[in-house]
Amino acid sequence: MGFFKAFRGNHPETIGGDISQNSAPPPGPPPSHGLAAQEYHHTPPPGPPPEYLPPPGPPPLRKASDEPPPYHDWTVIPDTALLPPPPSIGHDASPGGNANRSDADLAHEWCRTHPLIRPHQPAVVHCDSVSNGNIELIQPREFRGSLSKLGLGCWKGSTVPGGRDACLLGSLPCYFAFSDSPLVTAMKKVIYFEVKVLSYGRGREGDASSIALGWSALPYPTWRMPGWERGSLAVHGDDGRRYVNDTWGGKDFTSTIQAGQTVGLGMEFSIPDTPPDYGSSPAQTPGIKVDVFFTRDGIKESGWSLHEERDSRNDLGVGGLEGQFDLYAAVGLFGGVEFEVNFNRTRWLWKPS
């Protein structure tokens, strides 16, 4: 306590002094008062304000990004007429199919081990034979029936009731990739043949009969109907559906083919109408435009574009049919069928334009 008292006694102005008597402000305004008054009471310069003049030269160009986005009326329904048609929906099975799963598995494995044959330069005699319709039909070992030649390019055949699937193939390709491609000739190429169904026969109760006409690259498993395996397409008479490398149930296309009718199937190869899109890959841009058409009793009934939009999940592609491989006529049969096949254009009901 004595120390503390001594300390206070030595510094009475800070420790023990009377603060109220030692902190009175000096008289008069603070030093900055006069300067602040001068700043807040500024007198404008004499005369009118200077006239505003725009900068010399034209105004800068406005960019599209400077414009506000156009108003979109969501109540207006867009016009879809110019959009491509949606992909056709395929079926899981055909109501008239009679093939079993083991045949399909065997065919898939066979195709895997037998790749498509690369085209080669045809001989002149072969080109002449095709131009004249002088094409024969090759009987596979699965064929059960008879086949005879009626004339140049005209064949008549029949199969036994209850017969299993068999595919007759032309002896020569109707389309030679080396000499018929529009990329080589700069011209359109059309291939076509006709089939007349004379009668359908039934064997045991429940056994059906039908015919299919199509096109195929080789080799092809001849115990399978055309259109079921790679490199082939066909229209089947029992369900009227079209098949393109489709081992399932095909796609709706036309009505069934009846006895007494003459039907034909053609393919047209041409240069695309529009140039390719250079932003797309070569795999997305077909080099040849391919259209398939179907006739009934001499009248072109319907068709489709080979490069139509496809279902990415179920469609297996059109490899082998795009004009890079030779293509052969294919006639599929099962059950009892009596028929005629005609490659001779002078006997066709359909007359090319």
- Domain segments of the chain as ranges: 101-347
Task: Quote the CA–CA distance of 61 and 252 in Å, as a whole number.
Answer: 57
| Torsion sign (Cα): 122, 125, 128, 134 | negative
Q: Which CATH architecture has domain 101-347?
A: Sandwich (2.60)
Q: What is the mean pLDDT of residues 213-232?
A: 97
Average pLDDT score over the chain: 82
Of the listed ranges 227-231, 238-242, 284-288, the least confidently predicted one is: 284-288
What does the pLDDT read at residue 309? Answer: 65
pLDDT 10s digits, 8-58 = 444 444 444 444 445 566 676 665 555 444 455 567 778 777 776 777 877
Measure the CA–CA gap between 258 and 200, rounded to whole angstroms.
Answer: 9
Cα separation, 169 vs 216, whole angstroms: 8
pLDDT in the model for residue 185: 94
- The pLDDT, as a whole number, for residue 24 is 67
The sign one gets for the Cα dihedral 75, 81, 87, 90 is positive
pLDDT of residue 321: 96
Pairing type for strands 328-334 and 137-138 reads unpaired
What residues pair up with 156 in beta bridges, in sequence order? 148, 340
pLDDT score of 340: 98
> Letter for the amino acid at 2?
G
Q: What is each CA distance from 102 to 96, 206, 306, in whole angstroms?
A: 18, 21, 29
Query: Is 50 exceeded by the pLDDT of residue 87?
Result: yes
Percent of the residues in the chain that have a pLDDT greater than 70, as a whole number: 69
**Stated pTM of the model:** 0.72
> Do the Cβ atoms of 94 and 252 come closer than 8 Å?
no
Closest CA to 235 of 194, 198, 270, 203: 194
Which range (90-104, 140-154, 203-217) has the least confidence? 90-104
- What average pLDDT does the segment 250-266 reach? 96
Pairing of strands 289-296, 299-305: antiparallel
CA gyration radius for the chain? 44
pLDDT in tens, 96-105: 656 778 899 9
Examine residue 60 and say whether the peptide bond preceding it is cis (omega within 30 degrees of 0): no
pLDDT of 225 > 90? The answer is yes
